[in-house]
Structure 1
Amino acid sequence: MSSSTSEDTIAAIATPHGRGGVAIVRISGCNALQVAKKITGIIPKPRYAYFKPFKQNEETIDEGVVIYFPAPHSYTGEDVLELQGHAGNIQPQRVLSAVLSCPGVRQANPGEFTRRAFMNGKMDLTAAEAVEDLISAGSESAAKAAMASLDGAFARDMQKLSDQITSFRVNLEGCLDFPEEHEDFFDSGKAIAELRQIQTIADEAKLKASQGLKLTEGAKIVLSGAPNAGKSSLLNALSGTERAIVTNIPGTTRDLLTSDIEIDGVPVTITDTAGIRDTPSDEIEAIGIRKAVSALKQADLVVLMIDGSVAPDPDLLKKICDLKKINSQILIAVSKSDLPQNSQILSQLNSKELCSIPKLQISVKTSDGLLSLRKTLARSLGIMPIEGVYSARSRHLSALNDSIEALKRASQILKIGDLVLCAQEMRLAQDSLGMITGKVSSDDLLGKIFSTFCIGK
């Protein structure tokens, strides 16, 4: 079997499987017109819609719309053919099978259409990744951020930063090669001022990307605390549904329960865990507690629920300190504020050992404090309103951090006058930006990125 190459003509179903109005089979490559001739009996004009039967071996297997997009004015930059027929579980597969029976056509790999668009210069890597981010967006804000990246906002910021670095490097290289003509750039302080400006632009881009990453990847909040502290009630209140069973019996929640909500536009998964206690009632509860501890380690934020209406646990301080060792990102929610509060608990929570942990009182029964809780959750997760946010991924932020660190080193080196080393750090800063847009890339990186796409993209 021959290996896949970018010269192959590829095909895939580009719409979701299952019941629906229309299913699209997309074909991209040099054999697209031959497929049109064999399946529909015509050579379509560019961008004309034709209603035709789709045939295989003279048998009509479906009927629908045929549209041809010639290279380079198509999604992939290649000849593209779309067969828009009936949806369902069977019909689209029959049409795809007929297409794949044509000479020189194979099944597309995951993300291969978008990868070809990138390789053919139709979009940069940030826009290509934004296609997947738009499809999987978990909130309206996430969709808007993905659309901004797809429209080139992220790439434009990276290009602006790269252009500034290029200009700086030109002046720096001039100082090295023709010092008598360019000494004013270094000696007058212009170099340091320009480098500071570049660092400011990089920091602004990082702030946008950091918020974009939260929109793309979402956040994880885990509810923790003693049995019957109100964790399940809070999960239900935040999600607006009866996701968890709520009783007065300690240990009701045995397994992890999750619910997806939105906080200031960021998709957030909240997990309700089994109440953690030293002596579980049975093996099932013990398994639930072990799962709870595992979830705590992976959380972006732990909300520790403490029942403010009962006498405190004698080991409360120790348990909170132990929890901080598992995850230092903690918010304490004192529940049941509609009931008389125990003064001992409030006194312990205000002790110097716990003064650095944010706290607030809530009542799920009366909804008191729930709005403040949402605002506190947003602050604790680092969610903030920023203009011009675009979708981003962990690799983008990592590359931006590498670029910013190189700029910092360049700034320190510039102050001691070593222009050769400074030029080297500026080159590294620019190369890191190239990793974001794809100007500097590797086959391994591209394979990893596009493998997460659906086949029809």
Structure 2
Amino acid sequence: MNVDTIAAIATAVGESGIAVIRISGPHAVEAAARFVRSRQDLRQAPSHTVHYSHIVEAGSGEAIEEALVTVMRGPRSFTAEDVVEISTHGGIVAVKRVLELLLASGDIRLAEPGEFTKRAFLNGRIDLSQAEAIMDLIRSKSDRAFSVALKQVEGALSKKIGTLRHRLIELLAHIEVNIDYPEHDVTEMTGAYIKDTSREVSDEIERLLKTANEGKILREGIMTAIVGRPNVGKSSLLNALSQSNKAIVTDIPGTTRDVIEEYVTVNGIPLRLLDTAGIRETTDVVERIGVERSRGALSEADLVLLVLNSAEPLQEDDRTLLRLAADRQTIVILNKTDLPAALDERELADYVPESAIVRMSIAEERGMERLARAISDLFFSGAIESGDMTYVSNVRHIALLKQSIQALSDAVEATEAGIPIDIVQIDVRRAWELLGEIVGDTAGDSLIDQIFSQFCLGK
């Protein structure tokens, strides 16, 4: 653990009302005080107080900015160290001048990405799963994803993992006693205890893993490809879902030449929408490239929204798309229902069930609620669980939970095979260590460095 003092801009750089520079470390208050002129000496300031100040050159005393300076003394701070936050005007020049002034002193260095949160973790302020949830909180793309991340920041997942690890450490203690004092051991009772506890913990982990698919969707969004022939209403659907004019809409087929991406939220579910070029045979070189990219987006999508024109008979290009989407989660949108119907819906029965068909008039904004319900039914069995549900959404956590189930399964199999309990103990301890990696208790330095390197600077 470094004991030097670090600083970084904690807000997005750009024009805004204020910008915040965060300083943390054992000499944060003393180092900042040399550049802060206020009514009270910053070094004597009580914790959690805010001071109207001017930021001045250390040598000349010339004021370069006015600011509000907040003092938070450890351990009652985010990093559990002394922290000073300088709130300057939000222009790029103002915040940059203050940061450069602080770094030029030689007592403060620029923080690495995620270093403030890393210090909070290393100082015991939060565990590793809570630290990762902070980035999920920042990156959340829907209210529901934000709520899930906030619960994890508050320690909902940590508490569950802590309870499971406590059960396993009790089991390990029981095994250790029986290894040390075999004369008091009843082999049948110890074997039954190992199997019962291992299975109970495995069942609890399985219940957590059942939320993994929904959690991952809430965290990352559903990659959704909007596909169809040219001029069936794909770009209009993108604009309707995003409530903006993101895509150009004309009556000219082939207007969309490339894949357009947009994040939207439908019934609390984040969708990463990909509006693709109309898929058809074409001699236009640029359009052909767009068509190939559309095929690629279709093959990678978690959800395919296949738009058909209900006012035209089913075309061969439509049938090709229906076949291409056969192995994906697909919702067929029959658009332009405000016009006389010409498409025979019985032809769709060979490709998709009736429940996967949504009738819409995008131009008249009819059918959007039906589409939202169809997406919810497809991915969440109609609804997302209530707010007290703890979701597992992190890929690293999911992998560790699966490995811990395997370790406990190995322990049960070894016990049933009559293998000595000191060997069985290895599998139980392995499960305990894997769960510990989730919260950081048994995580190695290289893993910790890798996780925090993905954080933004200043967090």
The one-letter code of the counterpart of 2:18 is: V
- Indicate the residue corresponding to 1:359 in structure 2: 356
Matched, 1:51 2:47: no
- Indicate the residue corresponding to 2:335 in structure 1: 335
The one-letter code of the counterpart of 1:363 is: M
How far did 1:319 drift? Answer: 4.6
Q: How many angstroms apart in 2 are the aligned matches of 1:430 and 1:309?
A: 61
How far did 1:223 drift? Answer: 0.9
Residues 338-378 of structure 1: CA deviation (Å, up to 9, x unaligned)? 445456x4333213xx3579621312245554322212212
* 1:59-208 alignment, distance < 5 Å: 59-174=62-177, 178=182, 180-186=184-190, 189-208=192-211
- Indicate the residue corresponding to 2:11 in structure 1: 15
Q: How many angstroms apart in 1 are the aligned matches of 2:452 and 2:45?
A: 31
Q: How many angstroms apart in 2 are the aligned matches of 1:309 and 1:144?
A: 42
- Indicate the residue corresponding to 2:315 in structure 1: 313
How far did 1:219 drift? Answer: 1.8
Distance change (3 Å), C-alpha of 1:251 and 1:281: farther
The one-letter code of the counterpart of 1:26 is: R
Residues 167-204 of structure 1: CA deviation (Å, up to 9, x unaligned)? 233334455553753435346x4543333321221122
Q: How many angstroms apart in 2 are the aligned matches of 1:409 and 1:338?
A: 61
Q: How many angstroms apart in 1 are the aligned matches of 2:221 and 2:195?
A: 38
Distance change (3 Å), C-alpha of 1:356 and 1:51: same
TM-score by length of 1: 0.88
- Indicate the residue corresponding to 1:434 in structure 2: 436
How far did 1:209 drift? Answer: 4.6
How far did 1:261 drift? Answer: 1.5
Q: How many angstroms apart in 1 are the aligned matches of 2:268 and 2:319?
A: 35
Give secondary structure in 2 for the equivalent of 1:18. coil
Q: How many angstroms apart in 2 are the aligned matches of 1:22 and 1:454?
A: 19
- Indicate the residue corresponding to 1:261 in structure 2: 264
Give secondary structure in 2 for the equivalent of 1:381. helix
Residues 48-92 of structure 1: CA deviation (Å, up to 9, x unaligned)? 333232211211112233333333332212222222333211111
| Counterpart contact for 1:44–1:67, Cα < 8 Å | no
Residues 202-228 of structure 1: CA deviation (Å, up to 9, x unaligned)? 122223454333222222111112223
Q: How many angstroms apart in 1 are the aligned matches of 2:354 and 2:165?
A: 41
Distance change (3 Å), C-alpha of 1:172 and 1:367: farther
- Indicate the residue corresponding to 1:213 in structure 2: 216
Q: Runs of 4+ in structure 1 displaced over 6 angstroms? A: none
Amino-acid identity (%): 33
TM-score by length of 2: 0.87
Q: How many angstroms apart in 1 are the aligned matches of 2:183 and 2:401?
A: 32
Distance change (3 Å), C-alpha of 1:182 and 1:341: farther
Residues 3-31 of structure 1: CA deviation (Å, up to 9, x unaligned)? xx722211112222223333322211222
Residues 283-342 of structure 1: CA deviation (Å, up to 9, x unaligned)? 111111122122223322112223334232347555533444xx6333333333444545
Match of 2:275 among 248, 267, 272: 272
Q: How many angstroms apart in 1 are the aligned matches of 2:405 and 2:355?
A: 31
- Indicate the residue corresponding to 1:347 in structure 2: 346
The one-letter code of the counterpart of 1:106 is: R
Query: Larger deviation: 222-231 or 414-423?
Result: 414-423
Q: How many angstroms apart in 2 are the aligned matches of 1:172 and 1:306?
A: 64
Give secondary structure in 2 for the equivalent of 1:450. helix
- Indicate the residue corresponding to 2:409 in structure 1: 408
The one-letter code of the counterpart of 2:306 is: L
- Indicate the residue corresponding to 2:426 in structure 1: 424
Give secondary structure in 2 for the equivalent of 1:163. helix
Matched, 1:399 2:386: no
Query: Larger deviation: 390-399 or 426-435?
Result: 390-399
RMSD across aligned C-alpha pairs, in angstroms?
2.7
The one-letter code of the counterpart of 2:189 is: F
The one-letter code of the counterpart of 1:91 is: A
| Counterpart contact for 1:171–1:185, Cα < 8 Å | no
Give secondary structure in 2 for the equivalent of 1:389. coil
How far did 1:114 drift? Answer: 0.9
Q: How many angstroms apart in 2 are the aligned matches of 1:67 and 1:309?
A: 64
Query: Larger deviation: 134-143 or 364-373?
Result: 364-373
Q: How many angstroms apart in 2 are the aligned matches of 1:99 and 1:146?
A: 33
How far did 1:420 drift? Answer: 4.9
Q: How many angstroms apart in 1 are the aligned matches of 2:91 and 2:442?
A: 42
How far did 1:274 drift? Answer: 0.8
The one-letter code of the counterpart of 2:30 is: Q
Give secondary structure in 1 for the equivalent of 2:294. helix
Give secondary structure in 1 for the equivalent of 2:79. coil
| Counterpart contact for 1:264–1:378, Cα < 8 Å | yes
Give secondary structure in 2 for the equivalent of 1:202. helix
- Indicate the residue corresponding to 1:29 in structure 2: 25
Query: Larger deviation: 151-160 or 230-239?
Result: 230-239
Ranges in structure 2 where 5+ consecutive residues have no aligned partner: none
Distance change (3 Å), C-alpha of 1:390 and 1:359: closer
Matched, 1:243 2:242: no
Distance change (3 Å), C-alpha of 1:245 and 1:60: closer
| Counterpart contact for 2:208–2:390, Cα < 8 Å | no
Distance change (3 Å), C-alpha of 1:179 and 1:380: farther
| Counterpart contact for 1:12–1:455, Cα < 8 Å | yes
| Counterpart contact for 2:305–2:331, Cα < 8 Å | yes
Give secondary structure in 2 for the equivalent of 1:90. helix
- Indicate the residue corresponding to 2:293 in structure 1: 291
| Counterpart contact for 1:276–1:289, Cα < 8 Å | yes
